[in-house]
Structure 1
Amino acid sequence: MRTTVVSTKGARQWQGIPGIERAANGRLWVTFYSGGPKEPHPDNEVLVTTSGDDGATWSEPEVVASPPGATRAYDPALWHDPAGRLWLIYNQANLETREFTVWAMVAEDSGAARPRWSAPRRLEVGAPFAVHLNKPTALTTGEWLLPLTWGRYAPETPFPRGHELQGVVISTDQGATWRLRGEVEAPPWALENMVVERRDGSLWMLIRTGSGALWQSVSEDRGESWAAGSPTGIVNPGSRFLIRRLHSGRLLLINTPDPERRRRLCAYLSENDGASWSGGLELDGREKVSYPDAAQAPNGTIYAVHDCDRYGPGEIVLKVFTEDEVLAAGEAGGQRAD
């Protein structure tokens, strides 16, 4: 496993919440957000940095979304759609006007050091409160599903705790329009859900909660409706996790296997669509590590990012590893997923 520090906060007061993607020519992109003294704050803004040498060195982070006035930009995600376009999806929020919206910029040339981003565009998701963080899922049947936490009203605070719902917005026209589906309930601080398509065609949603474990829901109709939420056996302290399908067909889970504290990040693999997990490769054994995201190269190499100590050094950390390393950790007695 190879480790590189992508960025530290330097003169910024804090930074964190990263996302990663890899262009077809190998160029890596990482996004995160910072701005102001903390999060949430009206001065929050989204930055990107890039590497043209497989993650060895990185450009100076550049601000790409910084709305005016009391509106903040936060929780960015990077995603290559099936056509190869790079999407930067992020949220905007303004407590004065009680607006909570999802926005996107798209680049056709993500292999370039300075791609041409489209103008920011609001995604109409059909909810008065909406917050997004994780990558969309492109189904084998062609639909795109963007995971969403939403509310029936716009709160006076940054988050409608106790009234949040988990769902997806579905696009059948390559992201031009979206329709909201799903109102899954889970314990408070439910947010940052992710969706994978299982081999039988059903969709599996995992949900961060404040209960000490991830919750789940299943859709049997390509996201149009979702079963009631239920707990999984996957321990989590109420922090972002990552689940995604790898080229091998396995599922990759990166998670914090502690019910209370954001310490240690570990990687696991599943051969059976999440029924059981193997591996337990420790990616980072420190305290205050959180918010993993990952991309995969055609040769199977996994590129994962996370943050560490947002208000201290504010590290954005890159880990490069293989499925074999994850499996070997399990054979050596690595950390269990449940």
Structure 2
Amino acid sequence: MSVTVIRDGIVRPDSQDPRVETAMLPSSCPQNHAANLLPLPDGSLMCVWFGGTQEGIADISVWGSRLSAGSQQWSDAEKLSCDPTRSEQNPVLFLAPDNILWLLWTAQISGNQDTAIVRYRQSSDYGQTWGDIATLLDKPGTFIRQPITVLENGNWLLPVFYCRTNPGEKWVGNDDISAVKISSDQGKTWRDVEVPQSLGCVHMNITLLADGKLVALFRSRWADNIYYSQSVDNGESWSIPEPTELPNNNSSIQVTTLASGELALVFNQMSAAGALERRASLYDEIDDGDDSRKEPEATGGRTAFWGAPRAPMTVAISADGGRTWPWKRNLDEGDGYCMTNNSLEKLNREFSYPSIKQGTDGTLHIAYTYYRQAIKYVRVSPEWVKESAQ
């Protein structure tokens, strides 16, 4: 049964637990997906995502909304990108040390993630107005999802993953690997550090620990576990990603370091082991008109698993740098049905692609996809997460 979501942007206490406050962000688009949050120095909270008819279709663009300081209602969504020939996806916000706000996103042809490039634009007034759109990374197949990390030495680290294909085959995610782009000149130029043996590990999310070590968590194309890597030399090299105790369903995650030094993570507590069905690919509903490339046939190697339920949406806290996660609490529960991305007919029931940031008052700000119809905003305290740990 389809469900219609009311997207009025009003922040309200949850009817079951008033310590949880939620809102559905305003949007005029049938589909809304892939949120990223950023608290800003003026006290506002900004959220960006992509919206349009359906992921992979050329009317998908980047949108943004703002929760002003002291306000209980998110602003009407503003369209922040516009390329009628490409699907513009996975926006990321980054506030540089000079207070210039960056917006980065991917732009691909149809469902072919191996055609993606990374674009950006900048704002000098915290996103009230924006400069021209330009290309940041032009190597086809370059994808982003997670924010830039600034180190004490001044270097910027931008995690990327490369969507690779064999000649004559469509992209399905079987050959994706991760890397870190490093800039020593405030984003003007970038060099590449590949993560060793990272096949299938994507959406690399870097966070800085109190001891100066860098930790990265990854989504898994194999839909088995969240993976973990670390760097002790400012991101110049990374350990081979290894599975954590946490499951992953080949959907996005996000982690952040709290003021306490603990890590807070949002993710789907689900893997392929909980799946009853399997999709051919993420874009198997889209006809791009290109019959020259076929979906690859399964061989002896591992293949990306699509269709594992995207639910529940869970928040977890770690006190040991991401090695263990003793505190977990669900934000939303359901069947997480994602065998289709169809939002026009309201067929999808996933909770996915979360973002998490901590405010100056300690509040956890979280946003994620709700049924691919809306971006849901939730705010809770770390204490709330720990109080009823699963």
TM-score by length of 2: 0.75
Residue 290 of structure 1 corresponds to 352
Q: Distance in 1 between matches of 2:102 and 2:20?
A: 27
- Aligned-pair distance for 1:45? 0.7
Q: CA deviation at 1:293?
A: 0.4
Equivalents in 2 of 1:156, 1:39: separation in Å? 23
Quote how far apart the aligned CAs of 1:97 are. 12
| Offset, 1:53 | 4.8
Q: Which runs of no fewer than 5 residues in structure 1 stay unpaired? A: none
Aligned to 1:300: 362
Cα distance between partner residues in 1 of 2:71 and 2:20 = 10
Structure 2 equivalent of residue 35 of structure 1: 52
In the alignment, the residues of structure 1 paired with residue 166 and residue 65 of structure 2 have an alpha-carbon distance, to the nearest angstrom, of 33
CA distance in 1, matches of 2:95, 2:65: 16
SS at match of 1:142: coil
Q: Is the 8 A contact 2:165 2:171 kept in 1?
A: no
3-state SS of paired residue (1:263) = coil
Residue in structure 1 matching 2:105, options 77, 90, 100: 90
Matched, 1:105 2:121: yes
- Equivalent of residue 19 in structure 1, options 29, 33, 36: 36
Quote the Cα distance in structure 2 between the aligned partners of 1:192 and 1:97: 14
> What is the CA distance between 1:18 and its match in structure 2?
0.9
RMSD: 2.5
CA deviation digits over 1:196-221, x for unaligned, max 9? 22344332221111232112222232
Would you say the 8 A contact 1:137–1:196 is kept in 2? yes
**Alignment equivalent of 2:320, drawn from 263, 272, 296:** 272
Task: Output the CA distance in 2 between the equivalents of 1:142 and 1:100.
Answer: 28
Verify the 8 A CA contact 1:166 1:193 in the aligned structure 2: yes
- Pick aligned residue for 1:192 from 186, 203, 210: 203
Q: How does 1:102-251 map to 2 (within 5 A)?
A: 102-110=118-126, 115-124=128-137, 127-151=139-163, 159=171, 161-186=173-198, 188=200, 190-209=201-220, 210-251=222-263
State the shift of 1:252 in Å. 0.9
CA displacement 1:267-314 (0-9 Å, x = unmatched): 12222211222321222223311111022221211111011111xxx1
CA deviations 1:19-78 (Å, max 9, x no partner) are 111211221211111223x2111221111111225562122211110113x222111112
Percentage identity across paired residues of the two chains: 24
Change (3 A) 1:187 1:176: closer
Instruction: Return the structure number with greater strand share.
Output: 1
Matched letter for residue 256 of structure 1? N
Structure 1 residue 166, shift from structure 2 partner: 0.5
TM-score computed with the length of structure 1 as normaliser:
0.86
